[in-house]
Amino acid sequence: MPLERKVGIIGCGTIGGQLAMAIDGGSVGNASLVSLFDAVPGSAEGLKKKLLRSKPSSHADFERFVGTGCDIVVEAASQEAVRRFAAKILESGKDIMVMSVGALADPELLAGLKESAAENGSRIYVPTGAIAGIDAIRAAKGLLESVMLTTTKSPKALAGAPFFETGKVKLEEVKERTQVYEGPAAEAVRLFPANVNVAAVLSLAGIGFEKTRVRIVADPAATTNQHEITAKGGFGEFRFTVSNVPSPGNPKTSYLAVLSAIECLRSVCDDGMRIGS
């Protein structure tokens, strides 16, 4: 029987909270929740009070959090959290599961994390998130010629993205289905950090952040978060479409992303989808 994994969670919002609840309820199998961290004072303690069985320590100080007995940390906070904390987690000999995969579009950061994982015998896990077809993308990687991701969300789900700070597109003026962006995944994950982590997962599995193309569509009539993947190459062509119900409490996050995190953690004693050693 595999050893129980001791889990720490960074970020006590929608994904972190639902993952904590899943562990607490026994849905993650051989895992126990031992520590919570959120830079917002009181956030980790607030989540802790909602748990019925688990008694994790709660922290607003990262150094105290990373010093706890967890052996795998789930990052469920932000791309900035990955940049600030991932290397320190790996250097401490702990594994990490990255939810804010867009941070890995930075080649220097990704290379550094891979190196740290190898040096410290740690692993970096990447859930497939809110899309399907990743196994097919990985299988065809050597033959891929083009990959396009078209993401369609309601204006409400796209609100707050740095892209709209330019003023070129005003969400409040979008009254019908409108393509607001097209460009490389490397740029998309920066301009829409809370919306297209799926683009980062797709890029890592396939032809990279510069060659993977992303379209963002705002649709006032949209009731789901839709992701369509079209891939072409020497193998032929395939197309996947996933329409996800938004996660309760956060329209920017698809519920499938939460379910993917739970499943990834459940299978962490196997190979999972990982980067590094």
Read off the tokens for 145: 């010629």
Side-chain half-sphere CA neighbours of 243 within 13 A: 4
Distance CA 223, CA 111 (A): 38
Read off the tokens for 92: 């401490």
Neighbours of 207 (CB within 10 A): 21
Distance CA 154, CA 175 (A): 11
Among 48, 94, 227, 266, the one annotated catalytic: 227
What DSSP string describes 235-262?
TEEEEEEEEEPEETTEEEEEHHHHHHHH
227 is an active site residue: yes
Q: Which of 137, 274, 154, 153 is nearest to 212 (CA)?
A: 137
Residue in the structure block whose two tokens are 């006590």: 12
Residues with a catalytic annotation lie at 227
